[in-house]
């Protein structure tokens, strides 16, 4: 996808409406160049973002090209490599689907289902009661929507992308998606079991870079979100209910949002939390973290049975 739905659009970077005239666009660009230039104390990152925004929509040709882009990868597809179960308390297995390559991981649940339904619901509400939304993924509609709505779509795509990666890990892995994790509506995006252990995975895309500060992820698009604490809380509720322990908690973000993994070592009963760029997820799930003991086949098989009998899914 050319842009994350959650990312600030060039119009937002320049502080103008998507319907701004070319003159309004030009004036905004020149004003921001003066305000953000490093020589006058501006932010280099902000200055660069303004320049990139202008490169994308500063000419009639570039603007027409940008406005015409579709979020094709954000639309749901029926030919995904994983199975789905659309109702709470049920499971669908991708292992029953024929594969033209190696056997796939066992997959249960509906990855991205809740986030995509939230996006569609918020989009209809924002468009107005009684209004007909012919194409909820139309580029002009997506880009004009508030950041909260776009983030729901970006999160759905992120969860679906993670599920596709997990499905290719092989028959030694089992994954459950959109898992209910408590009695207050908490959920775990993915629970993945394999030879390297049991992982709770949060898939996210805030449309911007993230960093660790005082034990929590921060970034210009996170606002007051506390993803690490939220994942820890949901994981505790899940482990209490099923009497299992996670090997690690994983937050996966787009490759351009994070350079190197961020590791918070676990203490006592608190599992390690690791934030990884998407390109590093498969290696982490296959090999685990350095020093972690890989589970025996019998232990993995027993744990898989317990999880399969105890896991419930969020309503979709």
Question: Band of the pLDDT at 49, cuts 50, 70, 90?
Answer: confident
What is residue 8's predicted lDDT score, i.e. its pLDDT? 84
Please say if the pLDDT value at position 99 is more than 60.
no
Write out the two tokens for 275: 């934030």
User: Is pLDDT larger for residue 177 or for residue 131?
Assistant: 177
For residue 64, the model assigns a pLDDT of: 86
pLDDT at 246: 94
CATH code, residues 10-68? 1.10.287.110
In the structure encoding, which two tokens stand for residue 55, read together? 């490169």
Q: What is the DSSP string of 128-176?
A: -TT---S-TT-HHHHHHS-HHHHHHHHHHHHHHHHHHHHHTT-TT-EEE
Sort 83 into a burial class: Cβ within 10 Å, 0-12 / 13-18 / 19+. buried
- What percentage of residues in the chain have a pLDDT greater than 70? 85
Q: DSSP secondary-structure letter at 265?
A: -
Q: What is the rounded distance in angstroms from the CA atom of residue 267 to the CA atom of residue 284?
A: 20
Contact between 125 and 77 under an 8 Å Cβ cutoff? The reply is no
pLDDT digits (tens, 9 = 90+) for 101-148: 568 999 999 999 999 999 999 998 898 865 677 889 888 888 888 989
What pLDDT score does 67 carry? 79
CA 13 vs. chain centroid, Å, equals 22
Q: List the structure tokens of 311.
A: 């896991």
Structural domain boundaries in the chain = 10-68, 76-310
* pLDDT-based confidence at residue 286 (cuts at 50, 70, 90): very high
């Amino acid at each position: 996808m050319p842009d994350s739905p959650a990312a600030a659009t060039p119009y937002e970077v320049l502080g103008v409406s998507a319907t701004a005239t070319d003159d309004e666009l030009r004036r905004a660009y020149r004003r921001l160049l003066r305000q953000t230039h490093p020589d006058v104390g501006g932010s280099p990152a902000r200055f660069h973002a303004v320049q990139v925004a202008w490169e994308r929509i500063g000419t009639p040709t570039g603007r027409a090209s940008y406005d015409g882009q579709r979020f094709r990868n954000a639309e749901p597809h029926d030919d995904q490599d994983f199975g789905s179960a659309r109702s709470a308390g049920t499971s669908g297995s991708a292992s029953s689907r024929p594969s033209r390559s190696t056997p796939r991981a066992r997959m249960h649940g509906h990855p991205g289902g809740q986030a995509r339904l939230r996006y569609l619901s918020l989009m209809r509400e924002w468009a107005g009661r009684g209004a007909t939304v012919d194409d909820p993924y139309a580029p002009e509609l997506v880009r004009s929507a508030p950041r909260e709505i776009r983030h729901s779509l970006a999160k759905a795509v992120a969860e679906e992308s993670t599920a596709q990666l997990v499905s290719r890990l092989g028959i030694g892995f089992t994954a459950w998606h959109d898992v209910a994790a408590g009695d207050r509506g908490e959920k775990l995006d993915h629970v993945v079991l394999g030879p390297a252990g049991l992982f709770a995975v949060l898939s996210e895309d805030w449309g911007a870079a993230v960093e660790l500060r005082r034990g929590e992820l921060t970034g210009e698009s996170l606002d007051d979100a506390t993803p690490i604490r939220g994942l820890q809380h949901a994981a505790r509720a899940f482990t209490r209910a099923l009497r299992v322990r996670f090997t690690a908690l994983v937050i996966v973000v787009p490759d351009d949002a994070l350079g190197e993994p961020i590791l918070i070592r676990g203490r006592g009963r608190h599992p390690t939390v690791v934030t990884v760029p998407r390109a590093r997820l498969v290696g982490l799930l296959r090999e685990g973290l350095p020093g972690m003991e890989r589970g025996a086949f019998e232990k993995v098989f027993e744990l898989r049975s317990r999880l399969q009998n105890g896991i419930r899914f969020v309503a979709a």
